[in-house]
Amino acid sequence: MKALNLLYAFLGGALVGCTAAILFAPEKGEDLRARIKNMLKSKGIDFSDDEVEQLVRQISAQIED
């Protein structure tokens, strides 16, 4: 009986963890770049897609260092 309770607790925890991961997962990179580009356009800064990609690479490199 104790092993069965442990199994239920494990499965319940796994279910809660999976649900939280899905709910709080960041959006896709493509969507995030589009949102950044739209935000910059609303501030009067116009970037091409290539410039946004370059900016994302620069920021990513700085974060990794």
Give the model's pLDDT for residue 17. Answer: 84
Provide CB contacts within 8 A for 40, sequence distance 6+: 46, 47
Token code pair at residue 47: 């970037």
The CA-atom distances, in angstroms, between 48 and each of 14, 21, 36, 51, 64 are 43, 33, 12, 5, 24
Condensed to tens digits (0 to 9), the pLDDT of residues 13-49 reads 888 887 777 667 777 777 877 877 787 788 787 777 7
Using a cut of 0.85, tell me whether the model's pTM lies above it.
no
Long-range contacts of 12-20 (CB under 8 A, 24+ apart): none
The tally of CA atoms less than 13 A away on the side-chain side of residue 7 is 4
